[in-house]
Structures are given as C-alpha cells and as structure tokens.
Amino acid sequence: MKVALVAPYFYPHIGGVESHVLALARELTRKGHEVQVFTSKHADLKEFDTVDGVPVRRVPVSSMVFDTPLTPKLMTMLQADKWDIIHAHSPPPLSSYYAAMAAVKARIPLVYTHHCDPEIPSLLGRAVSWVYYRTLLNYTLRHAARIIVYTESYAATSYALWKHPTALVPTGLDLSRFGPETDAAAVRKKHGLEGKKVVLFVGRLTAHKGIQTIIEAAALTDLSVKYLLVGPGEFPAGWSRRMHQLKVEDRIVLAGKVAEAELPAYYAACDLLVLPSVSRLEAFGLVLVEAMASGKPVVASDLPGVRDVLKAGKTGLLCEPFSARDLAEKITTITSNAEAASGMGAAGRKLAEDRYSWDAIGARIEKVYSDVLARSR
C-alpha cells in the first residue's frame, strides 16, 4: 500500500504523537509498504528530508495559534500524488482537518488516529476547543473511514468521540531496545544514584504531567528515595521555590533531555516509573509501556486511557490525580517491598511482549487499512 502519514509535528520534535508516527512509519516500511510523512516545517528544518529511511515532506507554516501550526498548503501537497490511504494524527488539531479536506477532494480513504482530546488551560482556550469540536474536528470525524483510539476508556469518556464508532489499536514499542538486562551503572554513577531507590519520570516538564505532585510527594517519602526527572522543558521558578521550601532539592535530579539511544539505560537505572498526570492530554502514556518492557513497576494517575495500559495491582499501581500523599504511599509500597516490585516488573515485561510489540501493532493497523480499502472498493 502507498500511505501518507500526516502529523502536526515530527522528529526531531519530541512527544508521544511524534514517537508513534515515526515508529509506525518504520514498521510499515519494514512490512513492504511505501510510506511518506507529511508534517510542519517548524524551526530551521529541511523541506525534504529522510528519517530512518522514511521520506519526510515538511509543509511551510503560515502562522501559529496556541502552539498549533497552520499548514493549509498541506491540502494541495497531499492531492499531488495518488495514495491508497491518508492516515492523519492529532493533536495538535489542524493538520488532520487539512488531511480530511484533501482526502474528500481526492476521494482517498482517510484513517484518523485520535491520540487525545485537545485541551487549552484557559477560559479562551476552552471556548476555542469547543468551537473546534463542533466544526473542524466534527468534519474530520464524519469523513474518516476509520477512527483509531488507543484505549476503550478514553474513547468512551471523550466528548468528541463517544458517538462515533472506533477501532482499538494501542501504540507500541521496539521490545528489543528495552529489557531488564540493560546496564544502568553509568547512569546511576553520572547522577549520584548509587545505593539509592530511584523513582523515574520521563516526559516533558509541563504542569499537566503532574511535576508539582512529584515535588510534593518527595517530601513524604523516605530520604533514601531519589527522583530522576528526564525530559525537555523549562523548570519554573515556582517549582524550584517549592523544592526549597520542602527541602527536597538534593533528592530531585533534573537530567534534562536525553537522547533516544540512552533512554533504555535510564529505565534500567530506576526502581519504578511514575506518571502522575492530571489532564486528559495524557491519553495513554507510552512511557508506562517502556518501563514495563524494561521490567520495572509503574505508578500512574487513575485517568481514562492511562488506567487501561497497566494492570493495577499486577504490573503497577494507580494513584489519585493531584494527590501527593497517595502518590507517595504508592511509591513507598513498591520501594519497601523488593519481592512485590520484582513480581510487578516481570509481569510488566510479559504484558509488553503480549500486547505492545510493534510487530503486532503494525499488523493490526495493516488490517484497518485493508478493511478500509475493501469497503471503499
């Protein structure tokens, strides 16, 4: 099949959607399909590029609205070639709408993956989101031949999706990159973590990821527990002041952005991973799968989508969003019981192997494409 993958941002931009689209492009290419990625030309990037053997076309950005690139030229670019499938990914939202417009005009089947609901944390942002739901997103959903979601609970609780039929296909990962046998000595030495219990966070340092909850929880756990935060983003002065007030500055290590090749060693260096997100922007949590594939237990917020990824009580624990005390209690439960932690880690690795390998996920997406094409003919 000849497939156009459309994403608002793409590598080297880092995020869950970007990682998913890159991995999907690799897997479809490995399976013999002809794939091209269409994305926005943000920063000083080449218009025509190749990433891991996948051709990439970056579309000029006419303007930015709420960190969303406006790329209306995408419509004409997609119509310039004959695709079997146009597969759009969102959020940010507008590129999927342009893809839908192009698919309708060119009579090409559109597959749409709804990674999470758009959410702008302000009164104006909520109004803009509501208008988007009722107009551009509604158009995209109505013209999609198939809507893919990661989890049932997220789709069932989404204002945008609840009335639309969806196909359940989670994201996946390359299991060969992660594993309990990965050497973690260099990471522990680099960050002064020898002899410590290590709680890892991987993700952007943004408020909706629950960073403040981690800071508050650090003051409620044993002094032998250190917190290793990995990911890009600014660390606001308010967070630093709170760390100082709680006297936990020496227990929270800011590792910053880490190269993709180095990430497995960071997972191997931890005793558990936490994802205390507080927003519907967290619809899945790929880092949970990466940690489970590394043989590590996880603690995550009890949110739609996220709760479907792990098996509570078997591969990790769920905690109440915004509750530092509950997060601290769940961390202590795992760090104080080596046998239970080991059992959760082993169960997590098996779950990752059974459910989240890209070989299996790629086959499921191939099946979606084949079904869509059969119906369109």
Looking at the chain, how many residues does it have?
A: 377
Confidence (pLDDT) at 190: 96
192 with 261, same domain: the answer is: yes
112 with 231, same domain: the answer is: no
Output the domain CATH number for residue 284.
Answer: 3.40.50.2000
311 with 364, same domain: the answer is: no
pLDDT tens digits for range 238-261: 999 999 999 999 999 999 999 989
d(C-alpha 228, C-alpha 270), whole Å:
8
Q: In what order do the strands lie in the sheet containing 316-319?
A: 252-256, 225-230, 197-202, 272-275, 298-301, 316-319
Closest CA to 115 of 19, 47, 241: 19
**What's the whole-number mean pLDDT along residues 146-164?**
90
Confidence (pLDDT) at 129: 73
15 with 164, same domain: the answer is: yes
Confidence (pLDDT) at 125: 63
pLDDT tens digits for range 98-124: 999 999 999 999 999 999 887 766 666
CB-based contact 9:115 (threshold 8 Å): no
d(C-alpha 237, C-alpha 173), whole Å:
35
164 with 193, same domain: the answer is: no
139 with 203, same domain: the answer is: no
**What's the whole-number mean pLDDT along residues 152-162?**
88
- The percentage of residues in the chain with a pLDDT greater than 70, rounded to a whole number, is 98
The secondary structure of residue 280, as a DSSP letter, is T
**What's the whole-number mean pLDDT along residues 195-211?**
95
pLDDT tens digits for range 332-348: 999 999 999 999 999 99
192 with 168, same domain: the answer is: no
Domain that holds residue 327: 175-355
Q: Total structural domains in the chain?
A: 2
Which residue(s) pair with 201 in the sheet?
A: 229
157 with 109, same domain: the answer is: yes
Single-letter code of the amino acid located at 330: K
* Total-model pTM: 0.86
40 with 24, same domain: the answer is: yes
322 with 339, same domain: the answer is: yes
94 with 198, same domain: the answer is: no
189 with 67, same domain: the answer is: no
Confidence (pLDDT) at 114: 95
